[in-house]
Amino acid sequence: MWEQALGFGVEIPFVELLGFELIAFADGRSEIHYPPTPAHLNSFNVTHGGALMTLLDVTMATAARSVTP
């Protein structure tokens, strides 16, 4: 359901695994909440950079797709 809202129209297992929650999606803006779990932490006990960059990537793509599907 949420993948279609993003405009991808396909299942994205990695996004589902990370637990991203779409909050806003309109007019060139998007907001996605991400509650990292212990499985998403690195050896410093902070959210892994790859997970954060995925959040950035999906949020920017969602914002763009809100005006150009």
pTM of whole model > 0.75? yes
* Longest alpha-carbon distance in the chain: 39
CA pair distance 10, 37, nearest whole angstrom: 24
Q: What is the pLDDT of residue 57?
A: 93
Query: pLDDT band for position 16 (50/70/90)?
Result: confident
